[in-house]
Amino acid sequence: MTRRVLLRALLLAASIALLPNCYGEAPPAGFEAIPTRNPHGPGAACPDLSGTFALASHPLAAAVLGRPAPDGHGSPVRLQIEQGTGQPEAWWQVPREAVIAFARELAGRDPDRYFRWWSLALRERLPPELAHDESRRLTALAELGPPLPVFASLSGQRCEAGWMLVAVRDLGSLSAEDGGGSDRSREEEIWLGRNAAGELLVKRIVFELKHYSLYASATQSIRLPPGKTSWERIAPVPGEGEARLTAADLPPAHDPATEAARCPADPGRVVDFTQRLLVGLPPGGALIRSEVARAEAIDPATGCRALVLELGFEAKRAADLDRIEARLRVEDDVRDVEAGELEEAARGARRAWRVTLR
């Protein structure tokens, strides 16, 4: 090291030693951070950040979290922080009841679309390109409905006196109006804590950086204390608790590709049903039409399209047709009966029914 470089290094070290040892300002009233009292926590100097907060549209989320809030599809999205024995874990969550209500409605209205949402939300039966790419999975899920909890990625770097450093951000060079130049820039530290009222405390400290070179090919930086500090308090909101939604909480989902295998035609069942009806016909009654079809909608409980019978009967009197309809409605195999108009016939009267089996 040349004498000139050595002299510059000694002068720089001396100037750093003389700088005041003060990073930021003392906290104002209400911003006193409380270290965790949990003996199993990440450290005696760390705060317990556990709680639920409405941060989906708050600028803090973009600054300290690794993933933005997902689309709640009309429902609120909250950030839930859980305090473990190491790093705190943060999750974006839509309220349980909102997700369950959405799932039930979609399963009844469009079972095929529900299966796609269910697969993406629960990470079940996904193709490799979605199973191994979280961003693509969440993008596909957002097109169908709200998500189950999404990992938000909150990283604590170190703790001091009840505050946890969660982000250090480069704010770029100082403007000319601020006295900037090629040797001056700024960076920001963001610290989180909790006060006695349970509020989430946010402390931002913006430092000016001085860049210098001892050698032409190497540039170092030092911070110029004390830094400019700003403060914010964020009140918690009611949380969802620790229990997360699972497949058991949602309506069953059925892959439309397996419908043919799961829902085979059952001619024997139709034959048995019609034979029971014929045995109980009133005198002079006759079955004049019997056609079998499938319902348009899939039953979300079974994943199958229900069997539908189009039945037509004739009888001597309209009262006899009423007796046939009453019999249809008490059959255990029948889910729904739609009656057609009463018509005159050569032997008395006729009527058609659309009968949906269970």
pLDDT in tens, 10-37: 444 444 443 444 445 678 888 999 887 6
Element (H, E) at 117: helix 111-122
Taking each helix axis from N to C end, the angle separating 111-122 and 134-142, rounded to the nearest 10 degrees, works out to 150
Percent of the chain, pLDDT > 90?
36
The whole-model pTM stands at: 0.66
Q: Where in the chain is the domain with CATH 3.30.70?
A: 256-357
What pLDDT score does 17 carry?
Answer: 42
What's the Cα-to-Cα distance from 234 to each of 58, 118, 182, 351, rounded to whole Å? 10, 34, 37, 68
pLDDT in tens, 91-113: 999 999 999 999 999 988 888 89
Q: Can you read off the two tokens belonging to residue 169?
A: 């951000």
Q: What is the distance between the alpha carbons of residues 157 and 20, in angstroms, rounded to a whole number?
A: 24
Highest mean pLDDT among 126-135, 188-197, 296-305: 188-197
DSSP codes joined into one string, 8-74: HHHHHHHHHHHS----S----TT----B---TTSS-TTSB---EEE--TT-HHHHHHBSSPPPP-TT
Q: What is the distance between the alpha carbons of residues 304 and 80, in angstroms, rounded to a whole number?
A: 38
Q: What is the three-class DSSP state of 321? A: helix
Average pLDDT, the chain: 83
- Residue 103 sits at the vertex; the CA angle it makes with 98 and 105, to the nearest 5 degrees, is 95
- Residue 315 CA to its chain's centroid (Å): 58
Q: Can you read off the two tokens belonging to residue 270?
A: 């139709």
pLDDT in tens, 64-92: 999 999 999 999 999 999 887 677 899 99
What is the CATH topology of the domain spanning 256-357?
Alpha-Beta Plaits (3.30.70)
Q: Please state the φ and ψ torsions of residue 81, each to the nearest 5 degrees.
A: -105, 130
pLDDT band at 42 (very low <50, low <70, confident <90, very high): low
